[in-house]
Amino acid sequence: MKIFSEELVEEARVQSHVADLSTATIGEVLLVAQYLEQKTGIPFIRMDQGSPGLPVNRFGVEAEKAALDRGVGSQYPAAAGVPELKEAASAFVKAFIDIDISPRACISTTGSVAASFGSFIAVTQRDAAKQRVLFIDPGFPIQKSQLRVLGIEWREFDIFPYRGQALRAKLEEELADGTIAAIVYSNPNNPAWICLEEEELQIIGELATKHDVVVLEDLAYFCMDYRRDLGHPYEPPYVPTVARYTDNYIIMLSSSKIFSYAGQRMALACLSDHLFDRQFPALAERYHDTGVFGPTFIASIQYMITSGCTASTQYGYAEMLRLACEGKINFVEDTREYELRAHRMKKIFTDNGFYIVYDHDVTRPVGDGFFFTIGYPGMTGGELLKELLYYGVSSISLSTTGSLQQGVRACVSRMREELYPAMEERMRAFNEDHQHK
């Protein structure tokens, strides 16, 4: 039995100014769910927005307070980031990824959203022949919205049928015309939680070098592949990265999920030293500077977007990175609650007729973490999104993430202990209402 009537959900859609629920964005689904909650007082099971659901890291908070007490709020921070953060970032990359990036090439950004925005500008302006971006989907919808704002063209493909060695031929096909400036993906993946394996990262890296393409590697869910014992500084296994196979990369490291520091909007764009020092005549002509990628990225592009990052937050992030390198913060164990939630939520769905859409990497089942994907027999992703709303569950359709598979993305971050019984009851009712249709 449905929790909300079709008439009430339609009212919520109209009042929230959503054109089509089946293709609704994260923000639009959020508005509809909030409207229904406020109208009825019935709590929603919120699987829509990927906002951290754990307490903020207290070490960062204390370091920020101390920085403000020192008076850092009275001065503009350096556009490239405060020295303490840059040094800590370089050490962090070495400790957990085992890659050498100098502090100068670790650049503070106002969240990874600002990092990708500035990166898209820089990589598509460095060479007049390379002005398109290639997405290995499914992916983060906001990044395509950024390209719409910038007027940059893109291509995309769903990796679902191209895992392992099949990825090489597909990438060669996409890169063959020489117009691709950058390849973008997240690892672990938002929304599917798949993880690119070593052979796939090697393929991407080799072809990025061959075709002179910059890889934008989004590591927002850093060390959150809980199937591996990651998170021990300066000890293997290290986080997988394309940086082992090419010098053409920008790694984006966010504080939002691993330290639950989302409200402070702090991240890093870590450029390879090779890319940082490359000189591009097209950049020199456009910005009337030397055209060296790193300085242009910092002073002529990133500074124009945010004019630097909040100084006190940079010191907070630096302290968390430093303590992680010293083994005094175990951020992997701090976030493992997401794994436990995903395991419980997946079981509720699969016990009631649902299936996991992206269920395997190349060699093993997909792990449990911040996101997962579900489908229901006979339903498109848009239909499933809408039907779940009637049962008090919000999600987003996989079609909005570049996926060609039918289903929805589920985020575990807002799940609470008291909601599991309600979720079980609602999904049992969903299955009973739909299994014989």
Classified as helix, coil or strand, 78 is coil
Going from the C-alpha of 168 to that of each of 165, 176, 200, 296, the distances in angstroms are 6, 12, 8, 32
Block mean pLDDT (10 aa), the chain, length 437:
91 92 88 93 91 93 97 94 98 98 98 97 98 97 96 98 98 98 97 97 98 98 96 97 98 97 96 98 97 98 95 98 97 96 98 97 96 97 95 95 96 95 97 84
- pLDDT attached to residue 1: 80
Of residues 267, 310, 249, the one with CA closest to residue 108: 267
Residue 229 DSSP code:
-
Residue 198 to residue 225: CA distance in whole angstroms: 14
Triad 367, 369, 373: Cα angle to 5°? 75
Residue 71 to residue 280: CA distance in whole angstroms: 39
What domains lie within the chain, and their CATH numbers?
6-42+336-434 (3.90.1150.100), 58-325 (3.40.640.10)
> 109: which strand partners?
267
- pLDDT attached to residue 251: 98
- pLDDT attached to residue 436: 62
> 134: which strand partners?
155, 183
Q: Tokens standing for 88?
A: 């800590």
Task: Please count the other Cβ atoms lying within 10 Å of the Cβ belonging to residue 212.
Answer: 16
Triad 186, 190, 192: Cα angle to 5°? 115
- pLDDT attached to residue 26: 86
Residue 120 to residue 212: CA distance in whole angstroms: 15
